[in-house]
Amino acid sequence: MNYDEFRSAGHNLVDFIADYLQNISNKPLFNPVEPAFLYELFDEKIPDDPKSLAEIQNVIEAKVLPYCTHVNHPGYMGLITPSPNPAGILSEFLVGALNQNIGAYSIGPSATAMELRVIRWLNDLIGYDDKAGGNLTSGGMTSNFIGLKLARDYSTDDSAQYDGMREGWVAYVSEERHVSLDKAADAVGIGRNNLRIIPTNDNYQVRIDLLKEAIQKDKSVGLRPICIIGLAGTTNLGAVDDLESLHEIAQRENCWFHADAAYGGGVLLSKKYPGLLPGLALADSVTIDPHKWFYAPLDAGAILVKEHRRLNMSFGMQPAYLTD
Ligand X SMILES: Cc1ncc(COP(=O)(O)O)c(C=O)c1O
Going by C-alpha positions, the residue among 279, 214, 269 that lies closest to residue 243 is: 279
Helix axes 140-155, 308-315, angle to 10 degrees: 80
| Smallest separation (angstroms) from ligand X to the CB of 3 | 36
| Smallest separation (angstroms) from ligand X to the CB of 284 | 17
Report the C-alpha dihedral over residues 138, 139, 145, 151, rounded to 10 degrees.
110
| Smallest separation (angstroms) from ligand X to the CB of 53 | 30
| Smallest separation (angstroms) from ligand X to the CB of 217 | 27
Q: Are strands 195-198 and 169-174 parallel, antiparallel or unpaired?
A: parallel
| Smallest separation (angstroms) from ligand X to the CB of 289 | 5
C-alpha 304, offset from chain centre: 11
CB closer to ligand X, 24 vs 232: 232
| Rg of the chain on CA atoms, in Å | 23
CB closer to ligand X, 170 vs 259: 259
Q: How far is CA 319 from CA 104, 107, 240, in A?
A: 11, 15, 41
| Smallest separation (angstroms) from ligand X to the CB of 300 | 9
Residues 268, 302 contacting (CB under 8 angstroms): no
Measure the CA–CA gap between 213 and 230, rounded to whole angstroms. 17
CB closer to ligand X, 218 vs 291: 291
Tell me which residues touch ligand X (CB under 6 A). 80, 139-141, 144, 178, 180, 235, 260, 262-263, 289, 301
CB closer to ligand X, 24 vs 262: 262
Going by C-alpha positions, the residue among 237, 228, 229, 226 that lies closest to residue 264 is: 237
Give Cβ neighbours of residue 323 (< 8 Å, ≥ 6 apart): 104
CB closer to ligand X, 84 vs 301: 301
CB closer to ligand X, 83 vs 144: 144
| Smallest separation (angstroms) from ligand X to the CB of 294 | 12
CB closer to ligand X, 82 vs 301: 301
